[in-house]
Amino acid sequence: MLEAINLKKTFGDYDALKGLDLKVNPGDIYCLLGANGAGKTTTINLFLNFIHPTAGKAEVCGIDVTEQPLETKKLLAYIPEQVMLYGNLTALENLRYFAQLGGHDYTETEYKSFLDRCGLQSGAYIQRVHQFSKGMRQKVGVAIALAKQAKALLLDEPTSGLDPKASNEFSALLIQLKGDDASILMATHDLFRAKETGTRIGIMREGRMMQELGTDDVSHADIERIYLEHMHGDSSKYAA
Amino acid sequence: MIISIARKEFAEIVRDGRFKWTATIMVLLLLTAMMAGYQKYTTAVRIQHAAQTGTNQQWLDQGDKNPHSAAHYGNYAFKPAGPLSYFDNGISNYTGTAVFMEAHKQNFAIGRPASDQSAIARFGDLSGANILQLLLPLLIIFLGFTSFSGERESGTLRQVLSMGVTNRQLLWGKALGVGSAVLIVVLPCILVGALALSMAQSVDHAEGMATRLATLSIAYLMYAGIFLFLTLAVSALTRHARTTLMVLVGFWAFTGFLMPKAASEISKFTEPTPAFGKWMADMRAHQLRGFDGVPPFAKFARYTKELFKEYGVTSVGELPMYFVAVRLQKLEEYDYPVFDQHYGMIREAYTSQRKVQDQLGILAPTLPLRSISMAISGTDLIQHVKFMTDAETYRRNMVVKMNDYLSKASVHLNTTYSSSNYMRADEEVFAIVPPFEFEPPNLNTMLAEHRSNFILLFLWLAAAIGLAIFAANRISLERN
């Protein structure tokens, strides 16, 4: 489970996050929507303890990330907008390395099964990843998350720049992970993907959570309308 | 965890095209230097052996003559090249390889290879030591400068830090990985060098060769460690790989090129050596007026009185030894303290210059390493001073033996001397002077002399590790 409790973050004079409360339960895919600068990536960075909160706290499975950063990182997997891998290593070598960093080690067959599960073609396992497309890298990123057996996933615009087919495949993978009872927090600009993949949606603006929605309760059109209204400042009707 | 990081780091480095090129160049340079050094060393050993044997035989074959004349005929001492001189020829190109030993005069060493070299040779010899001192740090910098800043730029650092790795694990893993990549380049060349050394003649010349090699290896490993941890520290402290490279190459140029030259100039300024002409004139004047202000002939007149008194005689003819030989020896001995003082002054100036240069090692790790490397290789000032001291001891002993023989064998000439009946000695007499043999300074003595350099090198390593740990602990993605 992921939980943000009155989480605040200030960069100099700029308030990036102004008291965020958020809870992502096991089996949830929580999609954070918002314009650039809304605080989505800051939230993810706070869960990863890459940055430290000004106030409030972020918890992973009930553990404060600031107090026990290594423990919480062991429970997390992180997939950024562009999964950065070591170009001179093959997909298998990258997977093995990151799995070992996460404290896991598997047989060659098991590593291959992770890559297979993510839809990477078997011929690519032993190819150096500098030749990989973004979609292929994202698949390796998901394989790393699978190998890490993470309880929670943090995804920062993972489908940005992917073609529709690759995007669909990625969404299918996320739904698989949800089935493993992982808590998934995904920052995205993709309203369509949020509705299709997510179980809940949070709309952020200027460091605040403006509104939370259940994806089953709203249509694509509703999401778009509500989102645009928040972005254009007419948020009084929906203030959380 | 650390092993996993090291293995990945190593794999990434050795697959990189830059590594292949730099490693190939490094290996070629090292092997060329080792081979050239080895060839130079074996040639030097052969020449030195032939020259020393030849001059020893010349001494014996000089023809029948008065023993004191034989002392004037003199002999040469040739400095043997130590086995490790093929690796580090230190200052031997500038100090001279032979010294002429004759009655009444203490001479400087002659035969400086540097004087036969072209101007281009001033840019430095291609020796194993020079390559390791200058290019090894550069290799480490090229292999390690992207360790943290490169990963920060490419985004993999975020990925890695999200896995629950501690910054220190990352530091030690990277140190091990980069260090292993450096070792696979350098180690085979060192082994080839050691193998060549074991096959060379006269390797038993320097005692404790295994200890020397081990100590030398430790010193160079410490030096490599300094640059390894400095590289990682700067890489962790800077945000861009380009900045890391600029800072490190700047430091490399400072410590490898600027400081050795600057240290030499500073030491010459703070501990100047006298101008040769003035020094020579001063020594000559000091000889004439006597070490203690009593001119040699006046001193000898006093001594003659004491001698007559000691033997209870009133004339030279009654003395039980050849008076002329006694006088020759006494005049020789009156010069000893003058030589000791004036040559000692130059030796002290050079020693003080060396100490100043060593002290400046606090600013550049290349300086203490260079001193240690030369010392263990037997090509430093201490070794040369020992050679010159041994040669002077031999010279004095040679003159004493000849004068002593003359003194005992020609007593009758005290009363019957004429230009036709002076004493003539032959090969049998000359053989009482044993051949010159140089005993290099004991390794423990050398190490004790360079204790401060070892401490400096250790402090540099400790500081580099400390800085790397500090920098690793500061790694943050706060402003990434």
Q: For residue B249, which amino acid is it?
A: V
Kind of pairing, strands B75-78 and A63-64?
A: unpaired
Give the list of residues 6+ apart from residue B32 with CB closer than 8 angstroms, or none. B126
User: Which amino acid does the sequence have at B302?
Assistant: R
Q: Which of B5, B11, B156 sits opposite A84 (nearest CB)?
A: B156
Residue B338 has pLDDT above 60, yes or no: yes
Choose the weakest-confidence range: A18-22, B110-114, B253-257, B441-445: B110-114
Q: Per CB distance under 8 Å, which residues of A are interface residues toward B?
A: 45, 48, 50-52, 70-71, 73-74, 76-78, 80, 82-86, 88-89, 93, 97-98, 100-103, 128, 148, 154
- Report the C-alpha dihedral over residues A68, A70, A74, A75, rounded to 10 degrees: 20
Report the CATH fold assignment for A2-84+151-231: Rossmann fold (3.40.50)
For residues A25-59, b (16+ Cβ closer than 10 Å) or e, as one string?
A: eeebbbbbbbeeebbbbbbbbbbbbbbebeebebb
CA distance, residue A99 to nearest chain B CA (Å): 8
Quote the CA–CA distance of B76 and B115 in Å, as a whole number: 20
Q: Of the candidates A50, A71, A82, which has its C-beta nearest B161's C-beta?
A: A50
- The answer, yes or no, to whether residue A41 has pLDDT greater than 70, is yes
Kindly indicate the confidence band of residue A239, based on its pLDDT and cuts at 50, 70 and 90.
Answer: very low
Residue B447, pLDDT score:
86
Q: Is A122 exposed, middle or buried (0-12, 13-18, 19+ CB in 10 A)?
A: exposed
Pick from B222, B221, B234, B2: nearest CA to B141:
B234
Instruction: List chain B residues with CB under 8 Å of A71.
Output: 164
Q: What is the pLDDT of residues A20-34, one digit of tens each?
A: 899 898 888 899 888
How high is the pLDDT of residue A240? 43
Q: Could you tell me if B473 lies within 8 Å of chain A, comparing CB atoms?
A: no
Structure tokens of A32? 């954070």
Angle at B329 between CA B325 and CA B331, to 5 degrees: 115
Alpha carbons B480 and A44: distance in angstroms, whole number = 14
Residues of B whose CB is below 8 A from A100: 1, 4
Q: For position A219, what pLDDT does the model report?
A: 77
B4 contacts in A (CB within 8 Å)? 97, 100-101
List CB contacts of B185: < 8 A, sequence separation 6 or more.
Answer: B23, B26, B27, B139
pLDDT digits 0-9 by tens, A132-166? 888 888 888 888 888 888 889 898 888 777 777 77
- Reported as type and span, the H/E element at residue B428 is helix B427-430
171-210 of B, contacting A, C-beta below 8 A: none
Average pLDDT of the residues of chain A: 85
For chain A, the domains span 2-84+151-231
Token pair, residue B14, equals: 């050795």
- Give DSSP secondary structure letters for A126-162: TSBGGG--HHHHHHHHHHHHHHHT-SEEEEESTTTT-
Is the pLDDT score of A123 beyond 80?
yes
Which of A133-137, B154-158, B177-181: highest mean pLDDT?
A: B177-181
Domain regions of chain B by residue span: 2-474
Residue among A51, A85, A154 whose CB faces B478 most closely? A51
Query: What burial class does residue A141 get, using C-beta atoms within 10 Å of its C-beta: 0-12 exposed, 13-18 middle, 19+ buried?
Result: buried
**B275-291: average pLDDT:** 91
Question: A167 is written with which tokens?
Answer: 């995007």
Q: Do B158 and A50 make contact, defined as CB atoms within 8 angstroms? A: yes
